Amino acid sequence: MAVDPPSLLNDLWYFALSGAGLKRGKFVPRMIMDEPMLIGRDADGQVFALSDVCPHRGMPLSEGRFDGREVECCYHGWRFDRGGRCTAIPWLVDGSEIEVSRIKVRRFPAREHLGNVWVYVGDPDKAEDSLPELPPLPAIGVAAPNLSVEMNFDCHVDQAVIGLMDPAHGPFVHSAWWWRPNREMQVKEKEFEPAPFGFRMKRHKPASNSRAYYLFLGGQPETEITFRLPGVRVEHVHAGRYDVVQMTAVTPIDEKTTRINHQIYWTVPWLNALKPFLLHIAYRFIDQDRVIVAKQQRGLKHQQPMLLVRDADTLARWYFRLKKEFAAAAAEGRAFVNPVEATVLRWRS
């Protein structure tokens, strides 16, 4: 059965926010997958996520208060626990027939891992222990990201994903004195293989014109890059005794806006001193992607679909095939069969 994948994929974990931005006893409103959510951290430090819409009369719950145990709606004071169950309706008189505990606000499974909060957007009745694994991050002994950049792109999630993983735009979009000067282009040849819900660029030595790696790590670095649905790219650079892990999580805010969270973890002690500089570079790099994708949207309104050719566009083609297969497997109630085949891709960049 051929299925058109939905524009936004359900039944997956989405990056919600960096855990450092969520203090105990606080919540923040976040729009994820066109769902207004309230992401909170209770008095014990556990994270949770609820729909940010009061089931009574639709007030955003994030306009109300949270005491570390229960969220109180600002309109009529209904209270909800972290599992979304209503615990109190202040106006109730003794003997009322309203069954408070049957009133619920939608709950989204939420978990925190290596300093990030993820929410599961999908069937809320799925048992928590049967949920899929979180997108894996290699553990390098660092509990939380050393650096985080967040930015919104004015485009659909698909455009953000394929724009960020596009291997051919570097010399044109990201050229700077510290990164591939003079648009010198070299032939790249990389081995790819399927990985859970995505693909992996096998461990390799980065091209000699990627000067930044040498600049920051010294020694002979080795890189492995993994992509996984819905839109999580993880790059692990290992050099000598050092590790640097970069994660880019692409999360739909709605159909037309997408949030990019780029984070870097490192074990290189002296990188801490360079943090302001690295933050500047990371911000500028992602902003270049934001600007180019925004310009692209002007043209795309007049030419759909895109002409994705072979070689350097293969990753984008894989992304769409992964999405399609994910939707088909869900619709047919069968296991996901990874459509990516191991191959060597060659391009110039």
Report if residue 76 touches ligand FES, rule: CB under 6 A.
yes
What contacts 129, CB < 8 A, 6 or more positions away?
none
Which of residues 23, 24, 26, 57 is near ligand FES by CB under 6 A? 57
Report if residue 282 touches Fe ion, rule: CB under 5 A.
no
Number of residues that bind ligand FES (CB under 6 A): 8
- Residue 312 has a CB neighbour count (10 Å cut-off) of 18
What is the rounded CA–CA span in Å between residue 297 and residue 242?
A: 39
What contacts 119, CB < 8 A, 6 or more positions away?
13, 14, 16, 32, 37, 39, 49, 108, 109, 110
* Start-to-end CA span in the chain (Å): 39
The listed partner (ligand FES, Fe ion, none) that binds 75, CB under 5 to 8 Å by sort, is ligand FES
Report if residue 72 touches Fe ion, rule: CB under 5 A.
no
| Least distance (Å) between residue 78 CB and ligand FES | 4
| Least distance (Å) between residue 64 CB and ligand FES | 8
**Would you call 44 helix, strand, or coil by DSSP?**
coil
The listed partner (Fe ion, ligand FES, none) that binds 279, CB under 5 to 8 Å by sort, is none
| Least distance (Å) between residue 169 CB and Fe ion | 6
| Residues of this chain, 143-172, that bind ligand FES according to CB under 6 A | none
Please report which residue ranges of the chain form alpha helices under DSSP H.
Answer: 157-165, 170-173, 211-217, 275-300, 314-332
Report if residue 54 touches ligand FES, rule: CB under 6 A.
yes
Report if residue 66 touches ligand FES, rule: CB under 6 A.
no
What is the rounded CA–CA span in Å between residue 213 and residue 53?
A: 46
Q: Which stretch binds Fe ion (CB under 5 A): 204-212, 232-240, 287-295, 304-312?
A: 287-295
Report if residue 75 touches ligand FES, rule: CB under 6 A.
yes
Report if residue 86 touches ligand FES, rule: CB under 6 A.
no
Token pair listed for 142: 């660092």
- Residue 168 has a CB neighbour count (10 Å cut-off) of 16
**Which residues does residue 344 pair with via DSSP β-bridges, in sequence order?**
191
| Least distance (Å) between residue 108 CB and Fe ion | 30
Residue type at 313 in one-letter notation: D
Report if residue 289 touches Fe ion, rule: CB under 5 A.
yes
Please say which residue, 106 or 317, places its beta carbon nearer to ligand FES. 106
Which of residues 14, 15, 78, 216 is near ligand FES by CB under 6 A? 78
What is the rounded CA–CA span in Å between residue 330 and residue 127?
A: 17
Minimal CA–CA distance to 267: which of 146, 155, 154?
146
**Which residues does residue 18 pair with via DSSP β-bridges, in sequence order?**
116
The listed partner (ligand FES, Fe ion, none) that binds 105, CB under 5 to 8 Å by sort, is none
Which of residues 3, 34, 36, 56 is near ligand FES by CB under 6 A? 56
The listed partner (Fe ion, ligand FES, none) that binds 289, CB under 5 to 8 Å by sort, is Fe ion
CB contact at 8 A, 15 and 249? yes
Q: Which stretch binds Fe ion (CB under 5 A): 7-15, 74-82, 138-146, 281-289?
A: 281-289
Residue type at 301 in one-letter notation: K
Residues in contact with ligand FES by CB under 6 A are 54, 56-57, 59, 73, 75-76, 78
Binding site for Fe ion (CB under 5 A): 289
